[in-house]
């Protein structure tokens, strides 16, 4: 993960964090390229992902929280959920953004990030990059140093676009058409 070794997130220090948006999940791959065809294990992951036409639809969300806390634990980072409005208790601040099908918003707890903390944003799916861009903006407003983004699935329209707000984006598999 990361273009330079000194950007690697890990260890048990207090300056490491991982933010996962409400559909967050995934793991980093090589330099932003899908490895689905190169590795039979990744091809098996790709083959096991069900394609749901016309997704997203109301009421289906947060499937990535299955992966986020485990990834944070594995790299020695804290887990910071980024959620849709009114899903987090307590004081939050938000970032609105435009999606291809309308507007949306992400929220994060006030005080979840200490200024200067290094953050990896993890999401389950990247299509246009709208949600990831909003997550980066939200975290940077809180003082975080966003290092990179990692996504489980990249849609074909995101292909060859592996930087977002100047941050590298790593995709494990590309979706089937």
**63 is annotated as an active-site residue:** yes
Instruction: Give me 158's structure tokens.
Output: 């995101």
Residues written for the chain: 177
**Nearest CA to 138 among 29, 60, 22, 25?**
22
How many CB atoms sit inside 10 A of residue 163's CB? 12
DSSP state of 49: S
Annotated active-site residue in 63, 114, 141, 176: 63
Q: Diameter of the chain by CA atoms?
A: 45
Query: Measuring CA to CA, how many Å separate 128 from each of 40, 71, 97, 100, 161?
Result: 27, 24, 12, 8, 9
What is the C-alpha end-to-end distance of the chain, expressed in Å? 27
CB 34 within 8 A of CB 172: yes
Annotated active-site residue in 3, 61, 100, 107: 100
Q: Which residues are catalytic?
A: 63, 100
């Amino acid at each position: 993960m990361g273009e330079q070794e000194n950007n690697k997130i890990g260890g048990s220090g207090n300056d490491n964090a991982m933010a996962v948006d409400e559909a967050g999940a995934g793991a980093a791959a090589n330099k932003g390229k899908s490895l689905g065809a190169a590795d039979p294990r990744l091809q098996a992951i790709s083959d096991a992902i069900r394609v749901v036409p016309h997704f997203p639809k109301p009421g289906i969300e947060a499937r990535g929280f299955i992966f986020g806390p485990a990834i944070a634990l594995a790299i020695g980072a804290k887990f910071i959920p980024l959620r849709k409005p009114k899903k987090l208790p307590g004081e939050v601040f938000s970032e609105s953004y435009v999606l291809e099908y309308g507007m949306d918003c992400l929220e994060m707890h006030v005080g979840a990030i200490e200024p200067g903390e290094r953050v990896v944003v993890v999401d389950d799916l990247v299509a246009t990059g709208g949600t990831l861009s909003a997550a980066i903006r939200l975290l940077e407003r809180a003082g975080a140093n966003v290092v990179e983004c990692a996504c489980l699935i990249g849609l074909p329209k995101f292909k060859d676009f592996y930087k977002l707000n100047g941050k590298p984006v790593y995709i494990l598999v590309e979706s089937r058409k």
